[in-house]
Amino acid sequence: MQKNTLQTLKTRLWHLPWLAGTFIISLLAAPMVLWFAGMGTGILIAIFLASLVVTHVIAFLIGLVLRGKTWRTIILLCGIALISPIFFGATKLHDAWYLHFQAVKDRFRDNLAAPIPKSVSHLEFVPLQEAFVPDLIFRFEIASDDLDKIIRSKGFRKIGVNEFIRKDDLFTFRKYLPLSEPTSFYIHEDEGGSVAILKVSGDRKKVIFRQQSLLFHTNEDWGNNLIIKKEEQKFIRQLSQTNNP
């Protein structure tokens, strides 16, 4: 009797080890398929874990009905159980694709020109290790005529190095995101409190666009923050060492 009971359980629960494996794999894959950013982190984890439990329960119940142990049923049940990591992973891949290939084009259209002039090329976000602070900052190449049209249409005005809101602005350092000299700068302040600056190369073919909040430049608490200033100075020293081995 006991042997029959064990045999029956073994027959009905044949899929349990497979689902245990997919559950462990899903938990191990969680750091790779979740976006750990901002205030949504806890919610994302909760949604992922809840969906993981639900899909495994569904796969478990289906496995009780499909008693035949074949590769098709194994693939079916494992596929159902892995819906959560597959979905979250696909979402992350889509977001990564968008950030790498499309987002910078959307930011160009939003802030400079739509449609993007045909002469624009090598459009890309500036990596954080080069830009130091996580501002909206991207660079591109463009024909000088198209650049002049953008400057006029968006109301940029030319400023000198001494006219920056922050006198020690990183953009004023030649070795920070260097372009061919003599570089020129154009600024635009919108009603929403944002400050946009164009750093233009001497041949007017290469441009770096940066947008920050006006508070970033004028807030006294920020301006007096010695930690940030020291980090900026350290960053500038590292640039000097890199450019002058």
What is the distance between the alpha carbons of residues 97 and 91, in angstroms, rounded to a whole number? 10
Helix (H, G, I), strand (E, B) or coil at 66: coil
- State whether 33 and 142 are in the same domain: no
What's the domain count of the chain?
2
Write out the residue range of the structural domain in which residue 211 sits.
112-243
For the chain, the straight-line distance linking the first and the last C-alpha, in angstroms and rounded, comes to 82
Q: Are residues 136 and 198 in the same domain?
A: yes
Place of tokens 């024909």: 143
Q: Greatest CA span in the chain, whole angstroms?
A: 93
Question: pLDDT (tens digit, 0 to 9) for every residue of the chain, 245 residues total?
Answer: 445 555 555 667 778 888 989 999 888 888 777 765 444 567 778 888 889 999 999 999 888 888 667 888 888 999 999 998 888 888 777 777 777 778 899 999 999 999 999 999 999 998 877 777 767 899 999 999 999 999 999 999 999 988 887 777 788 888 888 899 999 999 998 876 788 999 999 999 999 999 887 666 555 544 455 545 666 667 666 665 554 44
User: Are residues 129 and 207 located together in one domain of the fold?
Assistant: yes
Q: What angle do CA 104, 108, 114 make, to 5 degrees?
A: 130
Q: Are residues 120 and 218 in the same domain?
A: yes
